């Protein structure tokens, strides 16, 4: 396996940009792919080359394996990085990339497949002595048997889709009488969302904290963890604020959870960067939830406290190099917090609010990192996840990191769409967050639309005007005005831009 010279990133937005930056630092050439909606996007302009891969819906562009492989072929890329989301956890994609003679900057197909099923993942982890949430080990086939097991485990319980992800396909059942109806609903939801109706049940941990460990493995059987991230501040079971280290872990618990995480990775012969997720109950018992076999959205907080570049390490691992450190050589210092800046409206149940960014100014300063995908005048497409950027603040300790985060959030200006900026400020400034006394129910327990104050009438009028203009522009834009770029366009080549 030789040195990688040119990498195509099969992704968009902030994560494509973040990966390109590390690649450039490694003197590796960069190739972007883009859909109609992303013609003018920052990630397209930042890469050395860019290839058009199809219409805006991801199913016709970013999820098209053949088009991505064609783009690699025409540009002469010798490796593909999948980023997160899209094709990043599809073993078919990893296989197709390798069969095309390219290097896949990711794990083996076997790892992706094992950890892609929550049930298979649990089976693999259990064989390595990793604690699991009490629950069923196989998909539910017999409803009466499932009710018996649910009673044995004790309500409340959670019905989960084995193929689930992104917080989708989970149902809490508080009492036995509701079980059957919820089971049917969970199954049809799972089938509709993931094409697989396998569901299982798990004890619903009532006051859980989400703690995950960053894993790194090489192709020579070495696996280490890079400590934890806490991601308990969630809405719709999806993370919105993450931090490292967690304020509840003792060194002893960190060591136990870290070695359990390494065992999970070992159970599927893992190499590349990955994340092992646990929930921690209020008695500090931890249970394995799932493993994500890719770079995670919140990886920057780990980079900040360890000083490592995870993308650089992913590249070296894919090239066949050994990990440059052992577990005992790894340390962390300081405290990092990440706030996810989404185009969504916290005052309307965090509904996505895509549209035109009329103004957009990112904060800066010592210890402030913004992994960003947008600029003023960008359109936030309706087709993809509405995350605009991640704001990461690093300081000597948690209190200072919170102070820096509040300052940086206040310096961030965005108009044209609703965002999570004010919500994030509310959350990190909340006494429960400050004191470390919170769980995954933080939003349900502490946040109401009134928490951010009433919106002023001019603000409300502006929001509605922007929404109307946006709807109008969607109706009048025609797909035929777009020309297809099969070859990398010279216009994109070597074009520099100001912000990123
Ligand atoms: P997904 O793959 O859809 O993200 P996860 O299994 O990773 O699903 O769970 C996502 C979130 O849902 C967790 O961070 C936690 O907040 C909540 N959750 C999952 N399982 C449980 C459980 N057994 N008890 C309580 N909360 C849970």
Nearest atom (ligand 1) to Cα of 292: 2
- C-alpha closest to that of 411 among 364, 371, 369, 456: 364
For residue 223, give its domain range.
Answer: 209-452
Least confident of 79-83, 188-192, 458-462: 458-462
160 and 35 in one domain? Answer: no
166-195: average pLDDT: 89
CA–CA dist 12, 372 (Å, integer): 11
Residue nearest to atom 6 of ligand 1 (CA): 289
Q: Quick check: is 40 in a domain?
A: yes
When pLDDT is cut at 50, 70 and 90, the band that residue 172 belongs to is very high
What is the whole-number distance in angstroms between the Cα of residue 181 and the centre of ligand 1? 21
Q: Quick check: is 448 in a domain?
A: yes
Residue nearest to atom 12 of ligand 1 (CA): 237
C-beta separation of 257 from 276 below 8 A: no
What value does the mean pLDDT of the chain take?
Answer: 91
Q: Quick check: is 466 in a domain?
A: no
Token readout for 218 is: 């090489």
Asked if pLDDT for residue 494 goes beyond 60, the answer is: no
Q: Quick check: is 223 in a domain?
A: yes
Asked if pLDDT for residue 487 goes beyond 80, the answer is: no
pLDDT at 481: 29
CA–CA dist 388, 13 (Å, integer): 8
399 and 296 in one domain? Answer: yes
pLDDT at 467: 60
198 and 66 in one domain? Answer: no
172-198: average pLDDT: 91
419-436: average pLDDT: 98
Q: Quick check: is 283 in a domain?
A: yes
CA–CA dist 417, 270 (Å, integer): 40
C-beta separation of 130 from 278 below 8 A: no
CATH code of 46's domain: 3.40.50.20
Which residues on neighbouring strands pair with residue 341, listed in sequence order? 389
Number of domains present in the structure of the chain: 3
C-beta separation of 17 from 378 below 8 A: no
pLDDT over 90 for what percent of the chain?
84
267 and 392 in one domain? Answer: yes
173 and 231 in one domain? Answer: no
Ligand 1 site-directed mutation target among 88, 118, 122, 167, most atoms within 8 Å of CB: 167
Q: Quick check: is 126 in a domain?
A: no
Digit-coded pLDDT (tens) for 117-135: 999 999 999 999 999 999 9
Asked if pLDDT for residue 138 goes beyond 90, the answer is: no
CA–CA dist 86, 80 (Å, integer): 13
CATH code of 296's domain: 3.30.470.20
What is the whole-number distance in angstroms between the Cα of residue 116 and the centre of ligand 1? 15
When pLDDT is cut at 50, 70 and 90, the band that residue 470 belongs to is low
356 and 295 in one domain? Answer: yes
361 and 313 in one domain? Answer: yes
Q: Quick check: is 238 in a domain?
A: yes
CATH code of 145's domain: 3.30.1490.20
Could you list the beta-strand ranges (E) of 61-195.
79-81, 103-104, 157-161, 170-173
What is the whole-number distance in angstroms between the Cα of residue 239 and the centre of ligand 1? 10
Q: Quick check: is 457 in a domain?
A: no
396 and 372 in one domain? Answer: yes
70 and 42 in one domain? Answer: yes
Token readout for 76 is: 């002469």
Residues with a CB atom less than 6 Å from ligand 1: 133, 158, 164-168, 202-205, 208, 210, 234, 237, 277, 279, 289-290, 440
Max Cα–Cα distance, the chain, nearest Å: 65
Token readout for 380 is: 């936030």
71 and 158 in one domain? Answer: no
216 and 150 in one domain? Answer: no
pLDDT at 495: 30
Which residues have CB under 8 Å from 493's CB, separation 6+? 48, 49
Does pTM surpass 0.75? yes
257 and 144 in one domain? Answer: no
Residues with catalytic roles? 294
Which residues have CB under 8 Å from 404's CB, separation 6+? 365, 367, 368, 393, 394, 395
């Amino acid at each position: 396996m030789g040195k990688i010279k040119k990498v195509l990133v099969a992704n968009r937005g902030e994560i494509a940009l973040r990966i390109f930056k590390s690649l450039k630092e490694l003197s590796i050439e960069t190739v972007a792919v883009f859909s109609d909606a992303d013609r003018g996007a920052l990630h397209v302009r930042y890469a050395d080359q860019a290839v058009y891969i199809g219409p805006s819906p991801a199913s016709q562009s970013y999820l098209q394996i053949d088009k991505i492989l064609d783009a690699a072929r025409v540009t002469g890329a010798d490796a593909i990085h999948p980023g997160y989301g899209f094709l990043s956890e599809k073993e078919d994609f990893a296989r197709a990339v390798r069969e095309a003679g390219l290097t896949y900057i990711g794990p083996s197909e076997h790892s992706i497949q094992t950890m892609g099923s929550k049930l298979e993942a649990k089976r693999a982890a259990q064989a390595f002595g990793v604690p699991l949430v009490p629950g069923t080990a196989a998909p539910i086939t017999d409803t009466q048997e499932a009710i018996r097991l649910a009673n044995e485990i004790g309500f409340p319980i959670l019905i989960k889709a084995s193929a689930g992800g992104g917080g989708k396909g989970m149902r809490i059942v508080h009492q036995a009488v509701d079980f059957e109806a919820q089971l049917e609903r969970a199954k049809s939801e799972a089938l509709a969302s993931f094409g697989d109706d396998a569901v299982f049940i798990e004890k619903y941990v009532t006051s859980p904290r989400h703690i995950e460990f960053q894993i790194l493995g090489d192709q020579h059987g070495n696996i280490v963890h890079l400590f934890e991230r806490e991601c308990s501040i969630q809405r719709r079971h999806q993370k919105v604020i993450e931090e490292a280290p967690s304020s509840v872990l003792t060194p002893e618990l960190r060591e136990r959870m870290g070695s359990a995480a390494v065992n999970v990775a070992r159970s599927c012969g893992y190499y590349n960067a990955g994340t092992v997720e646990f929930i921690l109950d209020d008695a500090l018992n931890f249970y394995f939830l799932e493993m994500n076999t890719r770079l995670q959205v919140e990886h920057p907080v780990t980079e900040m406290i360890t000083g490592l570049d995870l993308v650089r390490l992913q590249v070296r691992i894919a090239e066949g190099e050994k990990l440059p450190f052992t577990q005992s050589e790894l340390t962390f210092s300081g405290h990092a917090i990440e706030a996810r800046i989404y185009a969504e409206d916290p005052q309307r149940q965090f509904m996505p609010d895509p549209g035109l960014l009329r103004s957009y100014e990112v904060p800066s300063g010592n210890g402030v990192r913004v992994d960003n995908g947008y600029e003023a005048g960008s359109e936030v497409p309706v087709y993809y996840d509405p995350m605009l950027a991640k704001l990461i603040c690093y300081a000597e300790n948690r209190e200072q990191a919170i102070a820096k985060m509040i300052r940086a959030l206040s310096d961030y200006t965005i108009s044209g769409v609703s965002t999570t900026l004010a919500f994030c400020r509310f959350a990190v400034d909340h006494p429960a967050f400050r004191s470390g006394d919170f769980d995954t129910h933080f939003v349900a327990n502490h946040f109401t639309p009134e928490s951010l104050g009433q919106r002023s009438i001019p603000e409300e009028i502006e929001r509605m005007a922007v929404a109307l203009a946006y709807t109008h522009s969607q109706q009048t834009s025609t797909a035929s005005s777009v020309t297809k770029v099969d070859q990398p366009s010279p216009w994109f080549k070597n074009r520099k831009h100001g912000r990123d």
